[in-house]
């Protein structure tokens, strides 16, 4: 994962750097440095970011199924 990829995921999620840091258990400074390419993005961070993106995208795909009344139905 490159710095721009991290920024893109954060933008997709609509999160601030502080929110991303909180969700990843990192400091805001760490996120700032990773996005600027000044700090490496560790494999565990990549996996966590990918998971957060996957879950957010899955939530977008949830389709609400209309509830139906069970039992005898009137015609």
Q: Which CATH number does the domain housing residue 36 bear?
A: 1.10.260.40
Q: What is the number of structural domains in the chain?
A: 1
Let me know if residue 45 belongs to a domain.
Answer: yes
pLDDT, residue 63, reads 53
Let me know if residue 44 belongs to a domain.
Answer: yes
Query: For 36, which DSSP code?
Result: T
pLDDT, residue 58, reads 85
Domain that holds residue 16: 3-57
Flag residues of the chain having pLDDT under 70: 62-75
Let me know if residue 7 belongs to a domain.
Answer: yes
Q: How far is CA 23 from CA 19, 46, 66, in A?
A: 6, 13, 33
pLDDT, residue 10, reads 96
């Amino acid at each position: 994962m490159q710095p721009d990829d991290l920024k893109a995921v954060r933008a997709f999620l609509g999160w601030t750097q502080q929110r991303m840091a909180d969700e990843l258990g990192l400091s805001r400074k760490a996120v700032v440095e990773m996005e600027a390419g000044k700090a490496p993005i560790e494999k565990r961070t990549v996996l966590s970011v990918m998971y957060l993106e996957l879950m957010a995208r899955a939530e977008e795909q949830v389709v609400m199924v209309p509830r139906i009344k069970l039992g005898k139905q009137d015609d």
